[in-house]
Structure 1
């Protein structure tokens, strides 16, 4: 009579251990997922997606003349209590929210904002950065288009390449050729194997989008050169839509590929 309860106790203990193991694994995967990609709602106008400890996407909305609004991505790179921003949010209110969040909540110094190209979804909030004495940086090509569009001019201008450092990390900004616009650049972060491509890079299943200033004939060739220059890329951030891996480069190349 004493052995039967002992057997039941062993079964009960085994069952509990299995359940505990299951929940431990479930918690671990849940923790890793939330830690790898954390959604932060800064305000009604601005959301942040945290990719890793250094890399963040800022998401805002551009209001179109037809009354519609479009979600726009920008990028933030943080290291050693300093940050660079890549493209402004698409309106002044969201830009103010971003600057306040970085300076007051994250408590980092913003060293500058770099523009991917000259369209509104990249530089609409430039005046807010200027009012906060944050350097605005653009390529010479982008600065020329900004002048034609009667925007204020950037504080710093580079030719085709600009190498930056943020603590012990490197940032390479480079012009590879015409695509979405004649001036679009790409920003590469080697320690993370990450590219911020802006509107030149399309999210999976996206349409060709705005082609008003595009060079469709060169688009695929330009992105092919980017892929060849950075063959180990793991994270690719487009100007609109979800980020992903190098499949976004392949999709963009195929979307604009012109058959011989």
Structure 2
């Protein structure tokens, strides 16, 4: 009888554990928390959100573009703006009014419009912007709105009790592309330096094809603990995105 009771108890414990695990996965595995015509927000981890907006292009049609929001103790940092003013304002209001967060910084990860197309709205709300010095120079050459603050190789910013790091590791998609890392959720925003699984090479007009693969391998070496990787376009994943991108751009011998 005791053996039967122990077995039954074990089954109940397993069922409860499975239920909790399933709930946790459901809560934080790409759970949609906001949607409009201009903006989609997905929760990827307890403190991290992928934002998706759309950029109309001549070569690739209406392209979904990603950014990342990380939060701690009601403070937030955003990587890449939504592609236009309307989507950017929606993201700002969702964070400040719905989530009751203070936005500490917006960080465009390179100079293309899918990273800083909505920067003017962040200026309107007096949200500080930070970018690689090369990004600011290239944005100026292209008559884009300029980020306010520049850094050369790396930057660390605090939100709540955590630090977010931003690093220029090497050229790839562009000569200025940086990556961001939030250790609390072990999540990386790779931006357009990183491709989703199965992606093609995409736009190469400003790329350094010789350096791209080695840059991504260096990213992987510097962030061995990363569990979630958000590319510039398409689905988030794990370190397999880094491996896939490195193979995709490996120079031919």
TM-score (norm 1): 0.88
Match of 1:178 in 2: 171
In 2, distance between residues paired with 1:39 and 1:23?
26
For the pair 1:76 / 2:69, whether they are aligned, the reply is yes
> Over residues 192-220 of structure 1, what are the superposed CA-to-partner deviations in whole Å (9 max), with x where a residue is unaligned?
22211100000000000010100111100
- Counterpart secondary structure, 2:45: coil
Change (3 A) 1:66 1:225: closer
Give 2:95's match in structure 1, choosing from 95, 102, 115: 102
In 2, distance between residues paired with 1:71 and 1:108?
25
Where structure 2 has 5 or more consecutive residues not aligned to the other structure, the ranges are 1-8
Change (3 A) 1:102 1:180: same
For the pair 1:31 / 2:50, whether they are aligned, the reply is no
Change (3 A) 1:125 1:225: same
CA displacement at 1:151 relative to structure 2: 1.5
State the number of aligned residues. Answer: 245
In 1, distance between residues paired with 2:59 and 2:201?
19
> Over residues 90-142 of structure 1, what are the superposed CA-to-partner deviations in whole Å (9 max), with x where a residue is unaligned?
12111111011001100101111001000000000000110111111111000
Contact 2:54 2:63 in 1 (8 A): yes
Contact 1:187 1:196 in 2 (8 A): yes
For the pair 1:43 / 2:36, whether they are aligned, the reply is yes
Where structure 1 has 5 or more consecutive residues not aligned to the other structure, the ranges are 1-16
Contact 2:227 2:239 in 1 (8 A): yes
Match of 1:4 in 2: none
TM-score (norm 2): 0.90
CA displacement at 1:84 relative to structure 2: 0.6
CA displacement at 1:171 relative to structure 2: 1.1
CA displacement at 1:23 relative to structure 2: 7.7
User: Deviating runs (4+, > 3 A) in structure 1?
Assistant: 19-30
Q: Which has the higher contact order (CA 8 A, sep 6+)?
A: 2
Q: RMSD value over aligned CA atoms? A: 2.1
- Of residues 22-31 and 147-156 in structure 1, the stretch that sits farther from structure 2 once superposed is 22-31
Match of 1:6 in 2: none
Larger Rg: 1
- Of residues 208-217 and 37-46 in structure 1, the stretch that sits farther from structure 2 once superposed is 37-46
Contact 1:161 1:173 in 2 (8 A): yes
Contact 1:42 1:101 in 2 (8 A): no
